[in-house]
Structures are given as C-alpha cells and as structure tokens.
Amino acid sequence: MAKKFIPFLLIILFTALSAPAWGKVYIDLAAPSQSALPVAVQEFRDLSQAPARDKNLSDSIKKELYDAIVTDLRFSGFFKVIDAKANLEDPLRSGLTESETDFKSWRAIGADALVKGGFLLEGDKLTVEIRFFDCVTEKLVTGKKFAGSAKNPRRIIHFFSDAVYGELTGKKGVFTSKLLFVSGSGGNKEIYVSDYDGKNATKLTRNRSINLAPKWSPDGQKMLYVSYKRGTPAMYSLDLTTGKDESLSSKPGINIGGAYSPDGSRVALTLSSERSPELFVLDLQSKEYKKLTDNNGIDVSPSWSPDGLRLAYVSDTAGNPHIHVLDLSTGNSKRITFKGKYNSSPSWSPDGRYIAFARSDSGRFNIWVVKPGGEGLTQLTFEGDNRNPSWSPDGRYIVYSSSERGGSLKIMRSDGTGVMKLDTGIKGEKAPAWSPFLR
C-alpha cells in the first residue's frame, strides 16, 4: 500500500543521475504532483534553556522555520505536505529520534515521510537541527545541524534544503538563490532583492527615480540596471557586496536592456545615440562599443546563449516585435518567431536548449518556449497576462510577472506545471530576474 520511502529516494537519485538530457531531467525531476510523496512536518521545538527563552521570538522563529521548510518541500516537487492540523503526535511530548517518534500516528495521517526539528537560540546565534524520517521503515534518512543568524531563520532552512537536495539528486539546489524585481509607479520605481520564494524582500535602489530591468552578473555579485536618476535612461552596475554604484553606459539617448555576457566581460545593450535603437556589445575592460544591428527599427532585450556565442533579442524589423537570434561570430541574425502580434523578453535557458519569451495577440501576454533554431514552440501559460520569464539557475523553473493584483510574481516548472504565487509583501512586482547559483 504505502510506498517505501527509501526506494522512492533511490528512484529519484537514479533518474537524476542517469538523465543527461534536459527534457528527461525535467520529466523525472519535476515530478508531477500526483506522484509526490506525502510528508508531515512537525512544529519545530525550542530547545533553548528556559530562562533565556523569549516567547514571542521563539514563536516567530518556530513559524518562520516551519513555513520555510514547507515551502522548500513543496517547491522541490517531490513532496506534498500534509496539513499540520492533521498531526497527531504532540511536539512537546516527543523527541527528535526514531525511538521518540510514534511512527504509527504519522502513518495514520497518511505520512510516508516525516520532518522533525529543533532549534537552540543563543544570543544572535540560531542552531537548527532537522531530521528526515521514513515513516514506513521507521528509520532516519538524514539529519543535519546548521547554525546561522537568528535574524534570518529562513536562510538556515534554505541552506539545509540545498544540502539535502544535493544529497538526493546529486545536483545543486536553488533554495539559496535570489530574485531581483521592480516595484513602484508614478515616476518612482525601485529594485528589490528577495529569497527565491519572494520572502525577505529588501530594497536595493534608493534614488527615488525610475529604476528598471535588473539583471545579475554571472557571479551573482553585481546587478546591472537602468536608472533615470541622472535624467535620461542610463546603465548602471551596483556591487551587491559593497553597495557601490558604477555608471556603465550613459550615451545620449537611451542606454537600456543590458545583460552581462556569461563570462562577465561584456554587456549587451541597446543604445540610440545614433539614429535608432540598436544593439551593441560593450567591452567592460576596453570600454569600447561594438555595433551589432543596423536598421531603422527597434532592437532591444538581448539575452546571451550560455556559451556566449549568440544573442536572442527583440526586433520590429519584420513589422512587429519578433524574437531573433544573432550569431556574434558572423553578425547574421535569424528570425525565430513568426506568429503573435507581439513577442518579447527572450530569456535563454541555462542549458542553452530553449528560449523562453512572452507573446501576445490581444494585449495579454503568455509565456512560451522555443528552441534557438525556431522549432519546438510550446505555450506554457494560458490564463491572465504573464511576462518577463527568467530561468532558475538549474533550468527547472521559470519565474515571471503576472498582472494579477496589479502585478505579482509567479514561479512554474519549466514545463508549465506547478504554478506557485510568490508573496513578497511588496505590491506591483515586475520584471523578475532569477540569480545564478550564489554558492
């Protein structure tokens, strides 16, 4: 009846390791919800010494830890989390070991797996221990202890999730990756950074001007963005480790849509200092610009192929906005979309096999993917108005902006399933950019 947990993990491990092709990985790794394993999560237990315990702080840490682990488990696609209200075992009356766990009571609520944890608060130091049990064999699968700042309990959980994900799949997890996004209106838009799940959103720009189109440097240490802080749209680079800002391109006209090359040495962008908005590549060392397109139309939104040899971009040279791919060695462009009134914001997948983009026929956009040669066109979203796709560093997920609630962010698996709404606590989020692996 109940699936055996250990064999299940082995199956995941096996398929992950034996799946060299992207398509296969996304079928096997991004398990559809019906095959997800039911897991119960017990409330975290405060193991701090009684006199040092602050009830409010303790409760808030408990809640953050629980919420973060549940988010990570769901997001992984391997698990469906059983509502904590169903839990029968009293967290205060059980321990963190097998012998202190009444597995019968967990099996009774349908749990094949169980997560238990405790934490110890010593000043600002928060030590969290998490254990993962198989309810069928009644064995510990893995247990880990992490210590970090009590100011950010979620971060400790995300590190744990990365470690466990790595053990189970042999691949890097995205739980410690980040998102950049834009929010604001009426001549004031600022850029924010958040955890991958939208939490811990923090304002990055503070110049009270219009700030747009954030993009990560390949090492995750810098943010490229467009700002009107000096009057006209110019390109800046913010060092996220120091807060120092650098003006990268401020030619007359527009300096927009910048993207770092995969090796970080160049930036592709659109300039209109000549007669029309054209694509250029700026060499960050020599500060020299190389012109890539030359026409009387609009050429914007470059996205690099992971090997740095090609750029996907938007051009209206065909009469309306379409996705084109430019070969940097020959300078030749090839149009790869032929339908839709408006095709925009191309984003090349980390493995190079797909380009995600947004297409509209009616003013409402949806997310599609297409292969760089123009074949394999597939629609991923069907409802609402969805734009600005950006891939997770492992290529399993896509974050995008939806017009719901005046602008919000969503994540889906790269096959369009498993849509998850993000709650950043900030309104009107747009233009998300998923970071590379940050560790």
Residues numbered 333-372 forming contacts with another protein, rule: CB under 8 A: 342, 344-345, 358, 360, 363
Tell me the C-alpha distance between 22 and 414, whole Å.
Answer: 10
Number of chain residues interacting with another protein (CB under 8 A): 90
Cα–Cα distances in Å, from 49 out to 46, 52, 94, 127? 9, 6, 18, 13
For another protein, give the closer residue by CB, 155 or 266: 155
For another protein, give the closer residue by CB, 40 or 238: 238
User: Quick one: which of 58, 152, 250, 265 contacts another protein (CB under 8 A)?
Assistant: 152
Q: How far is the CB of 252 from another protein (least distance, A)?
A: 9
Stretch that binds another protein, among 9-17, 94-102, 105-113, 367-375 (CB under 8 A): 94-102
Stretch that binds another protein, among 26-34, 210-218, 332-340, 409-417 (CB under 8 A): 210-218
The structure tokens listed for 274 are 């000549």
Nearest residue to 75 via CA among 184, 179, 219, 175: 175
Within residues 221-250, the interface with another protein by CB under 8 A covers: 226, 228-233, 238-245
For another protein, give the closer residue by CB, 18 or 242: 242
Nearest residue to 81 via CA among 410, 424, 420, 425: 420
The structure tokens listed for 439 are 């560790």
Stretch that binds another protein, among 18-26, 206-214, 348-356, 417-425 (CB under 8 A): 206-214
The structure tokens listed for 232 are 């006209």
The secondary structure of residue 310, as a DSSP letter, is E
Any contact of residue 187 with another protein (CB under 8 A)? yes
For another protein, give the closer residue by CB, 238 or 355: 238
Within residues 33-62, the interface with another protein by CB under 8 A covers: 47, 49-50
User: Quick one: which of 4, 24, 63, 206 contacts another protein (CB under 8 A)?
Assistant: 206
For another protein, give the closer residue by CB, 277 or 352: 277
Q: In the beta sheet, which residues pair with residue 270? A: 256, 279
Nearest residue to 252 via CA among 267, 274, 237, 230: 274
Within residues 61-90, the interface with another protein by CB under 8 A covers: none
Q: Are 37 and 112 in contact (CB under 8 A)?
A: yes
Distant-in-sequence, close-in-space partners of 245: CB < 8 Å, separation ≥ 6: 236, 237, 238, 239
Q: How far is the CB of 242 from another protein (least distance, A)?
A: 6
Q: Are 182 and 29 in contact (CB under 8 A)?
A: no
User: Quick one: which of 97, 263, 283, 331 contacts another protein (CB under 8 A)?
Assistant: 97
Within 13 Å, how many C-alpha atoms sit on residue 132's CB side?
21
Tell me the C-alpha distance between 101 and 284, whole Å.
Answer: 58
The structure tokens listed for 411 are 């994540």
Q: How far is the CB of 241 from another protein (least distance, A)?
A: 6
49 CB neighbour count, 10 Å cutoff: 10
x/- map, 109-148, another protein, by CB under 8 A: ---------xxx------xxx-x--------x--xxxxxx
Classify burial at 14, counting beta carbons within 10 Å of its beta carbon; exposed 0-12, middle 13-18, buried 19 or more.
exposed
User: Quick one: which of 12, 193, 369, 409 contacts another protein (CB under 8 A)?
Assistant: 193
- Between helix 5-17 and helix 153-169 the angle, nearest 10°, is 80
The structure tokens listed for 231 are 């009057």
x/- map, 266-305, another protein, by CB under 8 A: ----x-x--xxx--------------------xxxx----
Residue 89, helix vs strand vs coil: coil
x/- map, 408-437, another protein, by CB under 8 A: ----------------------xx------
Stretch that binds another protein, among 65-73, 149-157, 391-399, 411-419 (CB under 8 A): 149-157
Q: How far is the CB of 257 from another protein (least distance, A)?
A: 4
User: Quick one: which of 316, 317, 415, 416 contacts another protein (CB under 8 A)?
Assistant: 316
User: Quick one: which of 183, 349, 388, 390 contacts another protein (CB under 8 A)?
Assistant: 388
User: Quick one: which of 4, 208, 334, 421 contacts another protein (CB under 8 A)?
Assistant: 208
Q: Are 200 and 183 in contact (CB under 8 A)?
A: no
